[in-house]
Structure 1
Amino acid sequence: MPTSLLTKVALGTLGVGTVATGSVYLGKGLIISKTKISIEDLIDKFNPEKRFISFGDNHHWNEAWKAYREGNKDLWNISKITSTSTTSAPKEFMDACDSKKSQEVLDKSDPLYSQVVKYCTRDTLVRDLINENEDRSLLEKGHNFKGDGDWKTVWDLYKNDNSGSSDKWAINTWSSIKSETNAPAAFADMCIKRSEVKAHDLANPDYLDVLKYCTK
């Protein structure tokens, strides 16, 4: 029985060559094409629970740098550029992430993809989903936020939805603040806290609550 084409491919008995686009040449008229894609686009497509760490987000950068250092492999040869003993993420590490996320790979099986997910991203938060919503924006707790009409609007809404002795977010001072006309600091602080909760699904209850009570 003649050996099948797929078997020949698996055994490497055909003349196989890979071109830059990821196409595999199997002989005259036999080309299987697999276009490469950037790691950034792969993560956007397959990892909605992750977001790239932004420059200036020192907390998450330092956590990622710690994970990289504790991997004990220095996969990206950062030690050739700067010391890996520092606890603060160096610019060289951030630059490496920025560079590697634009590199193209065939698919998720590429080791670099997993490395970038592990060392260059953080969990998606409620505030990320809000920021990506073109119709809404998070209210900010500015110096005169109590007199802000937008804060008063959402505070009235929250009070109307929580008219009993307890409230949905279990604000510690609820019994003493629920009669206030203007949005109290405890409510604004809770909005900030809830916006930092992990969420990547637009049907997530935490996201929907913050969208309702903490945006304009």
Structure 2
Amino acid sequence: MAISLLSKSITGVLGLGTATVGAVYFGRDLIGNKAKISIEELIDTSNPDKRFISASSDTYWREAWKAYIEDNKSNEKDVWNVAGWTSGTTVTNNENAPSEFIQACDNKRSQKVLDKNDSLYSQVVKYCTRDTVVRDLINETEGRSLLVKNGDFATDSHWRAAWKLYRDDNPDGSDKWNISNYTSIKSQENAQEAFAKMCEEKSQVKEHDLTKSTYLDVLKYCTKVG
């Protein structure tokens, strides 16, 4: 009986050890199988200060292409194997990015990585994105759209309403945006050129935080419903 009890005890200890090892192994397996996320989704959550460059943004693409060339000019092969790339290539600010490079960026949006420490993620952020600006936030704000300055904007009801709101918030002695000649034009009912110009400038300011006045002021003074 003593031998039988001893055998059961040893078996139990060995079984416990096996279970422990299994648990540790299983835990490592879980960590090793951490769910991946697409680069596009990760940028939305981890880098809200960045937006993908659109196909029509030639200036941004030129800057991105130049950065890519500079980072790879000493290599025998570029990191993305872009068609037409050759070692030692130099590029100017006026040189358009080739369609192959733009396509490479587009293809990598859906590729999945573990987290923002992945080298591919860092490359995409560097070569395929630009800074988020107020205009982006406005475009993503449901129910609002930026006022557009056209030929007859001054008498447009939306522009006039926006201009009145700004004047009401900035009476004598105040001018939040330091609009040119504000003291001499603030009595005008029609929207003024200087005000419309300021709306355009403010919409291009870098910003990604929806709680900042940089965004909230443009939302208030330079947008309409719709």
Q: Indicate the TM-score class for this superposition, using the shorter chain for normalisation.
A: 0.7 to 0.9
**How far apart, CA to CA, are the structure 1 residues paired with 2:28 and 2:175?**
66
Match of residue 63 from structure 1: 63
Identify the match of residue 139 of structure 1 among 147, 153, 158. 147
**How far apart, CA to CA, are the structure 2 residues paired with 1:30 and 1:105?**
19
Q: Are the equivalent residues in 1 in contact too, given 2:61–2:97 (CA < 8 A)? A: yes
**How far apart, CA to CA, are the structure 2 residues paired with 1:170 and 1:202?**
23
Match of residue 183 from structure 2: 175
Matches within 5 A, 1:32-47: 32=30, 33-47=33-47
The one-letter amino acid paired with 1:178 is K
Identify the match of residue 81 of structure 2 among 68, 77, 82. 77
Match of residue 49 from structure 1: 49
Q: CA deviation at 1:118?
A: 0.8
**How far apart, CA to CA, are the structure 1 residues paired with 2:212 and 2:164?**
23
SS in 2 for 1:122: strand
Q: CA deviation at 1:75?
A: 1.8
Q: Are the equivalent residues in 2 in contact too, given 1:166–1:174 (CA < 8 A)? A: no
Aligned residues: 194
**How far apart, CA to CA, are the structure 1 residues paired with 2:85 and 2:182?**
51
Matches within 5 A, 1:124-163: 124-163=132-171
The one-letter amino acid paired with 1:140 is V
Match of residue 214 from structure 2: 206
SS in 1 for 2:172: coil
Q: CA deviation at 1:141?
A: 0.3
Any gaps of 5 or more consecutive residues in structure 2?
Answer: 1-16
**How far apart, CA to CA, are the structure 2 residues paired with 1:99 and 1:170?**
44
Match of residue 8 from structure 2: none
Kindly report structure 1 stretches of 4+ aligned residues shifted beyond 6 Å.
none
SS in 2 for 1:183: coil
Q: Are the equivalent residues in 1 in contact too, given 2:70–2:90 (CA < 8 A)? A: no
The one-letter amino acid paired with 1:194 is K
**How far apart, CA to CA, are the structure 2 residues paired with 1:96 and 1:85?**
19
**How far apart, CA to CA, are the structure 2 residues paired with 1:30 and 1:67?**
39
User: Structure 1-normalised TM-score?
Assistant: 0.82
User: Structure 2-normalised TM-score?
Assistant: 0.79
Q: CA deviation at 1:82?
A: 4.9
Identity %: 58
Match of residue 19 from structure 1: none
Match of residue 119 from structure 1: 127
SS in 1 for 2:150: coil
Q: Are the equivalent residues in 1 in contact too, given 2:134–2:204 (CA < 8 A)? A: yes
The one-letter amino acid paired with 2:79 is L
Q: Are the equivalent residues in 2 in contact too, given 1:141–1:188 (CA < 8 A)? A: yes
1:105-155 deviation digits (Å, cap 9, x = unpaired) = 122221100000111111111111100011111000011111100000010
**How far apart, CA to CA, are the structure 2 residues paired with 1:5 and 1:40?**
38
1:84-116 deviation digits (Å, cap 9, x = unpaired) = 544221211111100111111122221100000
Q: CA deviation at 1:176?
A: 2.1
Q: Which has the higher helix share?
A: 2
The one-letter amino acid paired with 1:77 is N
Larger Rg computed on CA atoms? 2
SS in 1 for 2:194: helix
The one-letter amino acid paired with 2:69 is R
**How far apart, CA to CA, are the structure 1 residues paired with 2:179 and 2:190?**
16
